[in-house]
Amino acid sequence: MYQTTYHRASSVDEAASLFAKSSEAKFLAGGQTLLPVMKQRLASPSDVIDLAKIKDMIGVEASGDTLTIKAATPHYDVATSDAAKKAIPALAYLASLIGDPAVRYRGTIGGSIANNDPAADYPAALLALDATVKTNKRSIAASDFFKGLFTTALEDGEIVTAVSFPVPAKAGYSKMPHPASRFALTGVFVAQTKSGEVRVAATGASQNGVMRVSAIEAALKTNWSPAAIDSVSIPASGLLADIHGTAEYRANLVKVMAQRAVAAAG
Amino acid sequence: MGVEGIGARVVRKEDKRFITGKGRYVDDIKLTGMTHAYFIRSPHAHAKVKGIDSSAALKMPGVVAVLTGKQLVDDKVGNLICGWAITSKDGSPMKMGAWPAMAPETVRFVGQAVAVVIAESKNLARDAAEAVVVDYEELPAVADMQAAIKAGAPQLHPEAPGNQVYDWVIGDEGATDAAFSKAANVVKLDVTNNRLAPNAMEPRAAIADYDAAEEHFTLYTTSQNPHVARLVLSAFYNIAPEHKLRVIAPDVGGGFGSKIFIYPEEMVALWASKKVGRPVKWTGDRTEAFLTDAHGRDHVTHAEMAFDTSNKIIGLKVKTYANFGAYMSLFSSSVPTYLYATLLSGQYNIPAIHAEVIGVYTNTTPVDAYRGAGRPEASYLIERLMETAARQLNVDPAELRRTNFITQFPHQTPVIMAYDTGDFNASLDAAMKAIDYAGFAARKAQAKSQGKLRGIGVSCYIEACGIAPSKAVGSLGAGVGLWESAEVRVNPVGTIEILTGSHSHGQGHETTFCQLVADRLGVPISQVSIVHGDTDKVQFGMGTYGSRSAAVGLTAILKAMEKMESKAKKIAAHALEASEADIVIENGEFKVTGTDKAIALPMVALAAYTAHNLPDGMEPGLKESAFYDPTNFTFPAGAYICELEVDPGTGKTSFINFVAADDFGRLINPMIVEGQVHGGLAQGIGQALLEHAIYDANGQPVTASFMDYAMPRADDLPSFNLSHTTTLCPGNPLGIKGCGEAGAIGASAAVINAITDAIGKNNLEMPATPDRVWRTIHAA
Ligand SMILES: Cc1cc2nc3c(=O)[nH]c(=O)nc-3n(C[C@H](O)[C@H](O)[C@H](O)COP(=O)(O)OP(=O)(O)OC[C@H]3O[C@@H](n4cnc5c(N)ncnc54)[C@H](O)[C@@H]3O)c2cc1C
């Protein structure tokens, strides 16, 4: 790791002003992505501004038809939150599948979506549930937030403060973990909104990061059942391929995970 | 046996320090004035080093020196050696290229060191390393073994034309051909034994400390065999004569073979310490471990097995290509030859065997012994062949094995080994009973009704351990003897120190070795301590690998104990005015049998050291040593059966049951044995399902971190169902065979046999990743 200056911010405003004052600052949340990259000397921020202790950025709350997860809430808290389990059990379940216990105790939803790893779990939930990303400057619809591999709509110095999820009628998540990293080799989140819209998002599959799967959405719109997906064919072109999964395999997984997510959603 | 004697499940003495974070590993040691080394490693798989410019780095803060491969060669530091000479079938010696500890001219694998920065801290050394400019001229590289042996392939070493190290044969080709010509059925199989990265929990580390006044070096290093390290460093690398070099291997966090070898980093640390006049520390990180710890396995094999009309094996032909990577590591040459092909008879009566092994250089990390070393490759091949044969001949796989089991001992195989004892039917019986083999068909049908593909796979392994009779390995080309030494010191107040040339790096010697003493003397193990891992304390020893510590190391302790006990009995008899023949040792006392006369061990010890009243002519003191050279290998064997389900939608494997019935001879501590089996099975299952060290076509490693290289984790593994069927080893007085490698040797075939049974297709390579299984299921 190179030399850096560590700051512990106590409020979102303080974090933003610290960022503005530094030459090449980075926000730090759970550090599960940023710190390994710094240790490998692939990132060398002049300043590291820790968001993880900002009280206003931690917690899970349900009110009316919305579940709000504040950005610095660790995955473990989401996985075990009564509010989350009651409002959107599939989301709590998704959080329980992230990495391993050490990662879940530290890693945060804000860090996860700001990083937008093409194999991260949360982006699939945000997209399928039509969530809204709240920042210190604005609100961004999930479909506008994710912009491809490791890119988001966030501007320099913009802080994600929370994510709010409309509570769906039904939702389910199914994930095939990558054997080494435990990220999603492919994960599919299916949701039926209270207004009857069907949204399906797959992570770990596309070369462009998290994606909607319109063919499966159409099939489920007519018939919300695993069998409805049987006849859908997912093309392998444009899908990721690596030593743990060919593009053809991932195309199969998009389908199979979607079927299992629907079964789980009921 | 007593509560702490042989056979007792004694809790490990060493765990208090390990689980409270008080272990003392190399990296925990800090010496006054210590500097830190950071190696500059090649990013290319094959390149010429045209120049190294360290001028900018030398001006950076805290930099003490930047040393290069050229300086190392100029200072006449020796090249790394390979300690086992193999002769090709044409009678020529194996063909080896030179391996300098840092490359002066040519790099041949990604991660090979070209220079080292010595600085006041590791971070400053790393900063400066980024300022060292190495001018490389890239050369074409070859990582794939099959590509490397083709005409026109990039050549690694001028000494080894065609990238071939040797072409070695074993067995009787004529007899084997004759058997095949009479065969009723021939079963053929091509298998790849995937390359693995050993990944001990503790990465390698070294601290070298040169004392200019004494012209003496101390090396703290992560070694499984510190005496062998000292021998090689002084005899071949010109570091220092043995009496001027002390090697200490303190607590070592796992080795699995990878810490047997003497690596460039410790050589460079020693040399650099003298050059800079200060201690030099190097601690590898995980990436360096992936790039530079010797890898394991990596074979490609074609094999054919001939059967007669009654399904008896009449012949076996094997042709194996073994990937050695870019250089010949310390014991690499012996692994695919004498540790592999000599086990090709498996548990079976095979009258004729012929095997050919071709050793190949590629632009990859060197390959050497890794848990099992050659024997997992042999066992996997034979057990895959038996399964394939059962399917082809349409007989039950367990039955085919029984038809061919060796049942008479001793048994001379056609490939050198003479099995001393065993009962292969007993272990197979135990495993089949434990898994309810008879009820499998019903369970398979039940699983099918739930959309799952269920399979069962048998693996009956045998291995040669307790390596080895020195005379035998010497005649086969080994550069060392493989005996072990021990010393028993009874202190004046009766506590006991056992000095052993074995080295514990996770095996629990501090407990098991004490159990032998407790068993013989009836003293609590708290009265006994085990001293190992320091060449200044322990007389010469050969270290720990090849499941040899109990069979060889503990037997050496027994021999020394016997000598000590004999002297102690004389002292006791003298004190008790009894005949020596009447003295028995019980509960820490020397008793006159049949009487209530006794003298406690501390009093005997005190008498030995005060020497006021010893038998006439007896030397004072109570300390004895012994060297023990085994007469044969030991042959642990067993049967593993795995039952699992495959999810046809994803190709993912889930274990239902995994049973292991092992014959390790006598068990010293069954709890520690179970731990060894668990770990071995985890590595065998890891190889079968998860692990694979992969290079791209240009020799760039694809799996150099845990984010890509899949290590087995607890939730990847089933709960193991272990049992033991015991035949005592006749070759050593304790009847011990060894248990350290069995799991890794036997498990992978059981898993692949079960998956291929589940999916109904026989051809499936390791690791059987979900993707690979899914593609195999759906392949036309
Ligand atoms: C071994 C391992 C396994 C993992 N497995 C999974 C998995 O299975 N599924 C999965 O989804 N993820 C997985 N992860 C990722 C992990 O869950 C974290 O979500 C992820 O590392 C980022 O979250 P963090 O809080 O650690 O962010 P950090 O590492 O602290 O930061 C990541 C990036 O986000 C920025 N950032 C952080 N918070 C904010 C914010 N509030 N506003 C703006 N920018 C911000 C930082 O500046 C940085 O650029 C794994 C990680 C590891 C190390």
Q: Given an 8 Å threshold on Cβ–Cβ distance, is A243 in contact with B706? A: no
Ligand 1, atom 10, residue with closest C-alpha: A120
> What pLDDT does residue B780 have?
78
Chosen from B450, B716, B771 to mutate, greatest number of chain A CBs within 10 A: B771
Query: Quick one: CATH architecture of B31-139+202-253+259-292?
Result: Alpha-Beta Complex (3.90)
Asked whether residue A26 falls in the same domain as residue A69, the answer is: no
Q: What is the CA radius of gyration of chain B?
A: 27
Average of per-residue pLDDT values in chain B: 97
d(CA B476, CA B414): 16
- For residue B3, name the pLDDT band (cuts at 50, 70, 90): confident
DSSP character for B44? S
pLDDT in tens, B712-760: 999 999 999 999 999 999 999 999 999 999 999 999 999 999 999 999 9
Asked whether residue A43 falls in the same domain as residue A106, the answer is: no
Cis peptide, bond prior to residue B718, ω within 30 of zero: no
Q: For the domain that residue A128 is a member of, what is the CATH number?
A: 3.30.465.10
At residue A21, what is the residue type?
K
pLDDT in tens, B632-654: 999 999 999 999 999 999 999 99
* Under 8 Å between Cβ of A230 and A242: no
Asked whether residue A114 falls in the same domain as residue A208, the answer is: yes
Pocket-forming residues, ligand 1, beta carbon under 6 Å: A 26-34, 51, 71, 75, 98-99, 103, 106-108, 110-112, 114-115, 120-122, 154, 159-160, 181-183
| Contact residues, chain B to chain A, C-beta under 8 Å | 123, 126-127, 130, 649-652, 689-690, 692, 694, 702-703, 706-711, 713, 716, 769-771, 774-775
Q: Which residues of A touch B775 (CB under 8 A)?
A: 246, 248-249
First to last CA, chain A: 48
Q: Which of B649, B702, B711 sits opposite A243 (nearest CB)?
A: B702
Domain spans of chain B, in order of start: 31-139+202-253+259-292, 299-468+632-778, 483-628
Relative to the CA of A181, which ligand 1 atom is closest?
3
> What pLDDT does residue B479 have?
86
Cα B130 to averaged position of ligand 1 atoms, centre (Å): 28
Other residues' Cβ atoms within 10 Å of the Cβ of residue B150: 11
Distant-in-sequence, close-in-space partners of A40: CB < 8 Å, separation ≥ 6: none
Sheet containing B216-221: give its strands across: B63-68, B113-119, B35-41, B280-283, B205-211, B216-221, B245-248
> What pLDDT does residue A232 have?
97
Q: Given an 8 Å threshold on Cβ–Cβ distance, is A244 in contact with B703? A: no
CA distance A214 to chain B (A): 21
pLDDT in tens, B445-486: 999 999 999 999 999 999 999 888 898 889 888 888 899 999
Joined together, the tokens standing for residue B691 give 């692990």
Nearest C-alpha neighbor of A198 from the set A237, A232, A235, A170: A170
Over residues B421-443, the mean pLDDT reads 98
Ligand 1, atom 5, residue with closest C-alpha: A99
Ordered per-residue pLDDT tens for chain A, 266 residues:
889 999 999 999 999 999 999 999 999 999 999 999 999 999 999 999 999 999 999 999 999 999 999 999 999 999 999 999 999 999 999 999 999 999 999 999 999 999 999 999 999 999 999 999 999 999 999 999 999 999 999 999 999 999 999 999 999 999 999 999 999 999 999 999 999 999 999 999 999 999 999 999 999 999 999 999 999 999 999 999 999 999 999 999 999 999 999 999 99
> What pLDDT does residue B2 have?
67
Q: Where are the beta strands (DSSP E) in B216-265?
A: 216-221, 245-248
Q: Measuring CA to CA, how many Å separate A237 from each of A208, A247, B145?
A: 12, 7, 31
Domain count, chain A: 2
pLDDT at B58 over 60: yes
Asked whether residue A194 falls in the same domain as residue A99, the answer is: yes
Asked whether residue A227 falls in the same domain as residue A139, the answer is: yes
First to last CA, chain B: 60
| Interface predicted TM-score (ipTM) | 0.96
pLDDT at B591 over 60: yes
- Domain B483-628 classified CATH 3.30.365.10? yes
Q: Which residues of A touch B692 (CB under 8 A)?
A: 243
Asked whether residue A68 falls in the same domain as residue A20, the answer is: no
For B652, nearest residue in chain A (alpha carbons) = A176
Q: What is the CA radius of gyration of chain A?
A: 18
Asked whether residue A73 falls in the same domain as residue A156, the answer is: yes
Cα A35 to averaged position of ligand 1 atoms, centre (Å): 10
Asked whether residue A43 falls in the same domain as residue A69, the answer is: no
Cα A122 to averaged position of ligand 1 atoms, centre (Å): 10
Q: What is the DSSP string of B559-571?
A: HHHHHHHHHHHHH
d(CA B438, CA B227): 51
Q: 3-state class of A174 per DSSP?
A: strand
Tell me the residue range of the domain where A191 lies: 58-266
Q: For the domain that residue A38 is a member of, what is the CATH number?
A: 3.30.43.10
Asked whether residue A45 falls in the same domain as residue A162, the answer is: no
* Under 8 Å between Cβ of A26 and A4: no
Q: Which of A2, A180, A256 sits opposite B710 (nearest CB)?
A: A180
Higher pLDDT, B13 or B467: B13
Q: Given an 8 Å threshold on Cβ–Cβ distance, is B123 in contact with A1? A: yes
Q: What's the CATH number for B299-468+632-778?
A: 3.30.365.10
> What pLDDT does residue B297 have?
98
Distant-in-sequence, close-in-space partners of B150: CB < 8 Å, separation ≥ 6: none
pLDDT at B693 over 60: yes
Q: Name the β-bridge partners of B87.
A: B93
Q: Given an 8 Å threshold on Cβ–Cβ distance, is A243 in contact with B711? A: no
Joined together, the tokens standing for residue A61 give 């709350």
pLDDT in tens, B513-568: 999 999 999 999 999 999 999 999 999 999 999 889 999 999 999 999 999 999 99
Over residues B155-183, the mean pLDDT reads 98
Joined together, the tokens standing for residue B89 give 């079938």
pLDDT at B501 over 80: yes
Q: Name the H helices within B142-242.
A: 145-148, 173-181, 226-235
Ligand 1, atom 31, residue with closest C-alpha: A111
Asked whether residue A130 falls in the same domain as residue A74, the answer is: yes
CA distance B702 to chain A (A): 8
For B767, nearest residue in chain A (alpha carbons) = A244
Q: 3-state class of A193 per DSSP?
A: coil
Relative to the CA of A104, which ligand 1 atom is closest?
17
Q: 3-state class of B627 per DSSP?
A: strand
CA-angle at B253, arms to B250 and B259, nearest 5°: 80
DSSP character for A74? B
Relative to the CA of A154, which ligand 1 atom is closest?
43
Q: Which of A1, A2, A244 sits opposite B769 (nearest CB)?
A: A244
d(CA B64, CA B272): 10
For B702, nearest residue in chain A (alpha carbons) = A243
Asked whether residue A41 falls in the same domain as residue A62, the answer is: no
Do B299-468+632-778 and B31-139+202-253+259-292 have the same topology in CATH? no
Buried b (16+ CB within 10 A) or exposed e, B678-700: bbbbbbbbbbbbbbbbbbeeebb
Q: Which residues of B touch A243 (CB under 8 A)?
A: 692, 694, 702-703, 708
Q: Name the β-bridge partners of B49.
A: B136
Asked whether residue A42 falls in the same domain as residue A121, the answer is: no
Distant-in-sequence, close-in-space partners of A75: CB < 8 Å, separation ≥ 6: A95, A96, A98, A99, A103, A104, A105, A107, A108, A109, A112
pLDDT at B1 over 60: no
Q: 3-state class of B548 per DSSP?
A: coil
For B704, nearest residue in chain A (alpha carbons) = A180
**How many residues does this entry show for chain A?**
266
Q: Which residues of A touch B649 (CB under 8 A)?
A: 252, 256, 259-260
DSSP character for B94? P
